Structure 1
């Protein structure tokens, strides 16, 4: 059985208020993709220019499909124009959950 992929990506955006609806649409589209177990979009309370995604994919191959499809490529083109720097991304394995 393949391992699930947990991913956390942190973004700091210029024009964050205007971009937030586009980010939400990407989160919704991502949740509908095969292999996506969850995809959360959160926003920092103290600095609303900071966002993070927390996502889980059944297998790495589903994540690869996600980042290589037309929806993600269009989103990436839009977001890369407004981020202050490349996002910080962590690929992770779950050690414990909400037992």
Structure 2
């Protein structure tokens, strides 16, 4: 098993907050991608549910992911979750098999 952490984060916007959530997510992309250990941080929108955003992430190791959770770009975004999200983010850590 690789030390790389693959993560899928699904965020669902509150009704009427879709544009604000998209702006908040795109607003941190360049800063997060520059964080040590960030290998991938790609934002997607569900084609069938425009309120559902999916972030595909890869981090060099658990320490890099933990540092991301404490970094200013993410903590500023997380401070807005109550206003932007319909439910808590769904975070899935994946093991890359092949």
TM-score, normalised relative to structure 1: 0.88
Give the root-mean-square deviation of aligned CA atoms.
1.3
Structure 2 unaligned segments of length 5 or more: list them: none
Aligned counterpart, 2:39? 37
Aligned counterpart, 1:6? 6
CA shift digits 1:5-62 (9 cap, x unpaired): 0000111102111221111112222111110011110001121100011100001100
Is the Cα–Cα contact under 8 Å of residues 20 and 84 in structure 2 kept in the other structure?
no
Distance in 1 (CA, whole Å) between partners of 2:30 and 2:44 is: 13
CA shift digits 1:53-72 (9 cap, x unpaired): 11000011001001012221
Aligned counterpart, 2:52? 50
Count of residues paired in the alignment: 95
Distance in 1 (CA, whole Å) between partners of 2:68 and 2:85 is: 20
Q: 1:82: Cα distance to partner?
A: 1.2
What is the SS of the residue equivalent to 1:81?
helix
Aligned counterpart, 1:26? 28
Aligned counterpart, 2:84? 82
Distance in 1 (CA, whole Å) between partners of 2:39 and 2:21 is: 25
